[in-house]
Each structure stands twice: as C-alpha cells, then as structure tokens.
Chain A
C-alpha cells in the first residue's frame, strides 16, 4: 500500500491543531513550549511533504531553517523560563502578567 501526500498533510494538520490547543489551554510554560515545538515540527512535516510532492528542494531547505531557528528559540526561551522560575517559583504563564495595562 502506498501512502499518499494527503495522509502526511492530515497528520501535519492534526499535530499542528494539537499544538495550538496546547498553547491555548495549558498553563505550564514548559508544556506550552513543547506545544510550540510540536507546531513547528508539524509545519516541517508539511514542508517535507510538499518538497517530495513537487520534487523541489525549497521545502527541505526551509525545514532546516525552521529547525535551526527552533533550536535558537528553545535556548532563549528556556533561559527566560529559568529566570522567571527563580523569581516567582512558578512556571504558570498566567502568573507572568507584568505587561497588564
């Protein structure tokens, strides 16, 4: 049985949806982070799928870009998280509301 690109895209969409819901409803910052990673990787999956389907390398190149950026983002993001945790002893994103107007 040959698996068509539609299945990959569907998986990608499901993973992205799970990520979105996770970002929106979870309070734990680490879980939110993981959901963001999930969304990024779902998008990567789409890129690879389209690259394979169209026979072009652009999508694969872009996927590498996303990975690099995601790695950098994780470094900065986790650094911020550690700093906030030291200050507030909490990893809930709702507790960090310094920008409340």
Chain B
C-alpha cells in the first residue's frame, strides 16, 4: 500500500516516460525505414491470427509505411510533450493516476489505429480512442463549469452568468455523435467484406479498382461518415466544442492534435477506395470546405478561449479534408497540414491551459488582456503558434495551408470552389486567432480584483517552448518554398502517389500572396477592433442580435436539438402513449378482459351448495335417460 501511494505520485512521470520511450522507438524505426529504398518502405508485421469466422479471417497485422510512420511520430511526439505538460497541469488533481492511465490508453489505441493493416484492427483503435475521448471529456464529471455569457458586462470578481454546464452531457454528446459515425465505419466494413471478401488493406485496395462505381461510392461515403464523426466535420462536428469540458491537455492531445485527425488519416489510408469514386471525393472536398468556413465564422463569436480553439480545430480539419479529398495532388498537402496543425494547435491549447492555470481556471476572454508581461513564455510561444495558424510567411501553417490551397486551385472544378472558400477562411482564421491573442495578451488588463496571473511551472512551459518552436520551423523543415513537393511529399509518395507534375514556383507564390494577403486583412481588422482603444463590447451590444447568433453557434445545435431531441421525444411519446398504451396494451388487456368476464360468469356456477350440485347430477341423469329412451 505504501508503495502504491508513492507510485501514485509518480504516475505522471511513468506515463510520460512510457510515451517518450515509444517516441524514441518510433524515431529509430523511422531511421530504419529511411535507410530502405523508397519503393521498399512498406513493411508489414505479421502478428497472430485474431479470429476466423466463416470466410472472414482477421489477422492482427501491423503496417509500417511512410503514412503510418508520419502519424506514429506525430502521435508519440506530441503525446510525450502533452504528458509532460499534464504532470504539471494535473498536479493537484486527486485522480491524476486515473487520468494518466486513460491518457496512456488513448495513445495505445491511437497507435493501433494508425498501425493497423486491416479495417477491423483499425476499427479496434478507432473505438478505443473514442472510448478514451469519452472518459477524458467526462473526467471532471463532478465539476461545475461556468458558462461564458456573450453579452455580459464586465463585473470584476463576479461570474457573468450563473448558468452551468457539466462534463457528463458533453461526454455523452461526443460519444453519441461518434457512434453515428462508427455505424458508417461498420457498414463500410460489411460492404467491403461482402464485395471484396477481405478486410486486409492490401487485398481490399488491390481489388478496389474493380469495384462497381456505386459500391465504391457507398463504401467511401460510409467511411467518410465515420470521418465526419471522429474528425468533427459537418454535420457531426457539434460534439467537439462541448468536448472542451475535459481537462485542457486532453483537448490538446485528443481534440486537436491526434484523435480528430484520424478521419483525415483514414481518407488518406483508404485513398484507393476514394479514388474509385469521384462522387465521394467531391463530397469530401465540399464538406471540408463548408465545415472550414462555417466553423471559422462561429469561432469569431466565441468568448470562451477553449471554444475558439475548438472551432478553429474544426475549421483546420476542414482544410485537411479539402486536401485529402482532392486526390493524389492533395494527399501529401492534407497530411502535411495534419502534422503542422498537430504542433501549432497543441501549442495553442496548452497555451490556453497555461493561461487558465495562471488565472484561476477562468476561460472567459473578456477577463484577460495584458497578460503579455505576466506570462511571457506562454505569450511568446502562443505568438509562434499564432503565426503558424494564420499563415505568416515561413511559419509552418503558411507552407501546409498554401500547399492545400495550391492543390485545390490546380485541381480545378470543385477545387476552385474550395480554393475560394479556403482563402476566405484564411482571412477569418487570421481574424479570430488575432482576436484571441490580442484580447488575451495585449491591451488593458481586465482581470478581476484579487487575481494574480502568474507564469506556469517549467514542466508546463517546456512543452510550450518545444511545440512553439516546432510550429515555427516544421514547415520549413518538411517542405520547400518552391512549388515542387517538399520532403514530406517525397516521403509519402510511395504510399499515396503524387501529382503528375508540380506547378511552377511562380504560380505557387502568386497564389500564396492572395491567401497571405487575405490573412493580413483579417489580422489588421482584428487589430483595429481589439488593440486600438475601441469599445468592442459596445459594438457587440449594438449588434446584439447578430452577435447572439454567432455566440450561439449559428443555432446549429438548437436545430439538431429540435430534430433529434424534440422529434425523437415526440416519436417516443407517440409510440409510448398511442402505440404502446392503446394498441399493444389494449390488445393484451382486452384479451385479459374477455377471459376475466368469462371466468366471472363461470364462477357463479360454483355455488358451493352440495345439494344444487346433486340437482345438476340428477338433471344430467334425467337427460341421459331421456336420450336413451327417446333415441330414434
């Protein structure tokens, strides 16, 4: 028991070391992979036979190729840093050993997901990360969180609004939304097995070209339904903002850097199926573009710093789906953005966690301002990630986002539409992210009396520094400024294929100027509104109706609530009151009633008087005799 208590204090370090060790192993395996010639870089580790059922043979095989290597490195690398950060962040939580156990379980599930060699093993990881997401979103199941009031006045020291939100409903919402997507995954697997006869990636992708286009479209769209659930795309994205009820490291790890990118990875992994169906690719691009724009618009109206980042994540995931939906021209771009996004969004979340940690767990952006001097490390690293996400030239997001937009422009057709939406979204992204950093770190100090914002301990700031550094340089390290594919493109090409030819550097730069210019406009507007002495709260109150719509997430959740909860309830009430109570119960009770009436009539015959029975016997005897006598 004594040892248990001591180990409990060490839980965080044990968990961190485990993930860090996995990262070291992954790097070693990557070096080994890089020593192979490019076309021999797909290695399959034959595991044991998981189960056999009729014609279905499922082996627990793992696949190590450039695509899974990319994911494994991102997952273990970012996880190591976030685990380290969590040691500081969760220091005072009395269930931290549970927290770290779940966090490690998540990493394990995620690794199974990305290393799988067949759909069912992938599904195992897919469900595993979903479960861990549910558990960790609901980790603080007994904590009340104050809901941020969008129109509230600034009353120092007092919460603006007394409404409360709870973690358990958020966890359930995440679980249910993911469940809808998972049904898609299951149906896709059924359909694949029914038509191809195997779930092994090599077999399925080998035969995918021969599938009827209708079947390929159905499988691809069902898989994409699973992606919209896991990766928070329209129409199933609504769970992600609510999932912010979980601890901030969870938001950073699961709901920004790794789990939510599983959908992008799935499309890239199953790209052969998507290529067999032009319709599915178009749907992926359109949904990605639509989600990117919608989430960016909603992000403008959020006051909760974690909600801003959540919508930002949804929006950036939309970019990734544009990339992987475009075909060979965009796969590497989508995966590239996945990698850079993992760095800068993890940093932004951890930075937000650091801000909350230093500000009594407050998440309302209206209560910050001027934190620059109080939390210098958090500030500078967040600025690095800010530069990356809005696409400041040479920061990582500039490379990856521009590569997606280039690919979209090159692709033409639906890609052009995606390009326009993407450029517009780039402007909005720059606006809401600038709003976030300006209101948090610049301007006047608006925090309540008695609060003393302070920098977080080194164990938390070290991951911030590393991630901030990566957010700045990852793009330069993995790509090139020229229009030709960068290192990550070359690395992924054996698995994903590449475009027939690359566009010229000049064209790429010209397109980049448009997107970067749009971002600059967004940032400048944010500067005009939120840094200059300007009463933005008054502006907000003047347009209270429009603002309320933005803050209330454009009422999407309410529409869903109407269609799922209310209509569901109405249907349930109809079934319960009319069908069940009147129809089924009526039939059952009616039969019982008839039998009961018959029995009530029958019991009157049983008088209990022996003499009346004797009379009955006599009557019967007389009848028999009469029958015998008068028988014809």
Residues on A with beta carbons closer than 8 Å to the beta carbon of B602: 101
With a CB–CB cut-off of 8 A, which chain B residues contact A100?
606-609
Chain A residues whose CB sits within 8 angstroms of the CB of B618 once the complex forms: 20, 24
Bound-state CA distance A23–B610 (Å) is 9
Asked if A96 is at the interface of the complex by the 8 Å CB criterion, the answer is: yes
Complex Cα gap A98–B606 (Å) = 10
- Binary contact track B598-629/A, C-beta < 8 Å → 1, others 0: 00001111111111001100100000000000
Top 8 A-B pairs, shortest CB-CB distance: A97-B608, A100-B608, A101-B603, A101-B606, A93-B610, A99-B608, A23-B614, A24-B611
Task: Judge whether A97 and B609 touch: CB under 8 Å.
Answer: yes
Nearest residue, chain A, Cβ from B622: A20
* Nearest-Cβ distance from residue B617 to partner chain A, whole angstroms: 9
Inside 8 A of A96's CB, which chain B residues have their CB? 608, 610
A20-B618, A24-B618 known; A94+B604 contact, CB < 8 A:
no
Contacts A27-B611, A32-B610, A100-B606 known; list 9 others, CB within 8 Å. Answer: A23-B611, A24-B611, A32-B611, A93-B610, A97-B607, A100-B609, A101-B602, A101-B604, A101-B605
Q: Can you report 11 residue pairs joining A to B where beta carbons are below 8 Å apart?
A: A24-B611, A24-B618, A25-B611, A32-B611, A93-B610, A93-B611, A99-B606, A99-B608, A100-B608, A100-B609, A101-B606
The A22-61 residues at the B interface (CB cut-off 8 A) are: 23-25, 27, 32
Report the separation of the CA atoms of residues A62 and B602 in the bound assembly, to the nearest whole angstrom.
38
Given the contacts A93-B610, A98-B608, A99-B608, A24 and B603 also touching, CB distance less than 8 Å: no
Residues from chain A with Cβ under 8 Å of B603 in the complex = 101
| Cα distance A47–B610 in the bound complex, in angstroms | 28
Q: Which residue of A lies closest to B606 (CB)?
A: A101
Query: How far is B606's CA from A93's CA once the two chains are assembled, in angstroms?
Result: 15
Residues of B within 8 A of A32 (CB): 610-611
CB-nearest residue of chain A relative to B617?
Answer: A23
Determine how close the nearest CB of chain B comes to the CB of A98; give it in whole angstroms. Answer: 7
**Chain A, interface residues (CB within 8 Å), range:** 10 to 19
A16 to chain B, nearest CB (A): 11
The A1-35 residues at the B interface (CB cut-off 8 A) are 20, 23-25, 27, 32
User: In the complex the two chains form, what is the Cα distance from A72 to B605 in whole Å?
Assistant: 30
Contact indicator per residue, chain B 5-41, by CB within 8 Å of chain A (1) or not (0): 0000000000000000000000000000000000000
How many CB-defined contacts (below 8 Å) exist between A and B?
36
Question: Of all chain A residues, which has the CB nearest B603?
Answer: A101
Q: Which residue of A lies closest to B604 (CB)?
A: A101
CB distance from B358 to the nearest CB of A (A): 84
A94–B610 alpha-carbon span in the complex (Å): 7
B contact residues vs A (CB 8 Å cutoff) = 602-611, 614-615, 618
Asked whether, in the complex, the Cβ of A24 is within 8 Å of the Cβ of B614, the reply is yes
A97, B612: Cα distance in complex, Å:
11
Q: CB-CB < 8 A to A25: which residues of B?
A: 611
CA distance A100 to B607 in the complex (A): 5
Closest to B610 in A: A93
Smallest CB gap from A35: residue in B = B614
Residues of B within 8 A of A97 (CB): 607-609
Q: Which residues of A contact B606 (CB under 8 A)?
A: 99-101
A8 to B606 CA separation, bound complex (whole angstroms): 38
Bound complex: CA A96 to CA B607 (Å): 11
Contact across chains for A94 and B614 when beta carbons are under 8 A apart: no
How many Å lie between the Cα of A23 and that of B616 in the bound state?
Answer: 12
Chain B residues within 8 Å of A99, by CB? 606, 608
Complex Cα distance, B471 from A80, in Å, reads: 103
A86 to B611, CA, bound (A): 21
A3 to chain B, nearest CB (A): 26
* Complex Cα–Cα for A96 and B609 (A): 7
| Residue from A94, A98, A101 in contact with B611 in the complex, judged by beta carbons closer than 8 Å | A94
Please indicate the chain B residues that have their CB under 8 angstroms from the CB of A27 in the complex: 611
- B611: chain A residues at CB < 8 Å are 23-25, 27, 32, 93-94
* A94: B residues at CB distance < 8 A: 609-611
Is A24's CB under 8 angstroms from B615's CB?
yes
User: Cα distance A25–B612 when bound, in Å?
Assistant: 10
Q: Report how far A32 CA is from B611 CA in the complex, Å.
A: 9
Residues of A within 8 A of B609 (CB): 93-94, 97, 100
Q: Chain B nearest CB: distance from A12 CB in Å?
A: 14
Highest count of chain B CB atoms <10 Å: which of A23, A24, A101: A101
Complex CA gap A94/B608 in Å reads 8
Residues in A neighbouring B614, C-beta threshold 8 A? 23-24
Bound together, the chains give a CA A98 to CA B604 distance in angstroms of: 14
| Chain B residues, Cβ within 8 Å of A24 | 611, 614-615, 618
What 1/0 mask marks residues of chain A from 50 to 87 whose CB sits below 8 Å from any chain B CB? 00000000000000000000000000000000000000
Minimum CB–CB distance from A51 to chain B (whole Å) comes to: 20
Contacts of B615 in A (CB 8 A): 24
In the docked arrangement, what's the CA distance between A27 and B606, Å?
Answer: 18
Interface-central residue, B602, B608, B615, by most chain A CB under 10 Å: B608
Nearest-CB distance from A65 to chain B (Å)? 19
Q: Which residue of B lies closest to A94 (CB)?
A: B609
Could you tell me the distance between the alpha carbons of A37 and B604 in the complex, rounded to whole angstroms?
30
